[in-house]
């Protein structure tokens, strides 16, 4: 387990900022105003990036690297080319701090959970003034986060689309827990 390098931290924060916007500061801010306040940090175990309390990360240093399987919330994976890919395990963090959201109707939930993109016919509502190519969290109509993706069109353009037009490109969905269970946490 190690801390991220400057370059890795920049890559991770850029990816997270695409989904969270200004609330990214809340992810790394101390939990309270006291001197010894605990805060969340990013740590790398093998090629996975974890979001964990600093106090727990300090305790985990006493565990051998080979024996440490996971730590905190797995946000994603650093690729060999230097990019960062978010995993579905980061959904609770993204949903709590999401800047833009899309709610899909019940008729589109299964399509999305089986790996499909969000079509205009499936959109129940969408955050106003959502630009093109920005990260969004996808919810069902009962406000339960199902996954996340990147908008294909802005909100204004999406309203003019035909029902089969793609509004959001899927990046990850809750169905991945079943589809990728063998490789999701494997190194």
According to the model, what pLDDT value does residue 118 have? 96
According to the model, what pLDDT value does residue 186 have? 64
How far apart, in whole angstroms, are the C-alpha atoms of residue 138 and residue 143?
9
The residue ranges of every structural domain in the chain are 2-93, 100-178
According to the model, what pLDDT value does residue 112 have? 95
Which regions in the chain score pLDDT beneath 50?
none
Q: Give 33-36 contacts, CB < 8 A, sequence gap 24+.
A: none
According to the model, what pLDDT value does residue 31 have? 78
* CATH of region 100-178: 2.30.130.10
Fold topology of 2-93: Nuclear Transport Factor 2; Chain: A, (3.10.450)
According to the model, what pLDDT value does residue 32 have? 77
Contact 45, 70 (CB under 8 A): yes
According to the model, what pLDDT value does residue 63 have? 86
The label of the residue with tokens 């899309």 reads 102
Q: Could you list the beta-strand ranges (E) of 47-156.
A: 48-53, 73-78, 84-86, 101-104, 118-119, 123-126, 135-140, 145-151
Tens digit of pLDDT for each residue in 158-186? Answer: 999 999 999 999 999 998 888 887 776 66
pTM value is 0.88
- Distance from the Cα of residue 119 to its chain's centroid: 20
């Amino acid at each position: 387990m190690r801390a991220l390098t400057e370059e890795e931290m920049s890559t991770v924060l850029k990816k997270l900022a695409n989904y969270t916007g200004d609330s990214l500061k809340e992810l790394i801010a101390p939990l309270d105003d006291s001197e010894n306040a605990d805060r969340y940090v990013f740590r790398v175990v093998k090629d996975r990036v974890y979001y964990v309390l600093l106090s727990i990360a300090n305790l985990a240093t006493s565990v051998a690297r080979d024996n440490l399987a996971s730590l905190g919330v797995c946000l994603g994976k650093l690729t060999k080319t230097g990019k960062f890919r978010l995993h579905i395990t980061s959904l609770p963090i993204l949903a709590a701090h999401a800047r833009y959201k899309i709610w899909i109707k019940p008729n589109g939930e299964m399509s999305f959970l089986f790996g499909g993109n969000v079509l205009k016919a499936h959109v129940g509502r969408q955050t106003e003034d959502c630009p093109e190519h920005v990260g969004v969290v996808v919810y069902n109509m009962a406000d339960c986060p199902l996954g996340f993706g990147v908008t294909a069109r802005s909100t204004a353009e999406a309203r003019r689309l035909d029902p089969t037009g793609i509004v959001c490109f899927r990046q990850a969905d809750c169905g991945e827990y079943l589809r990728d269970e063998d490789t999701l946490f494997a190194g």
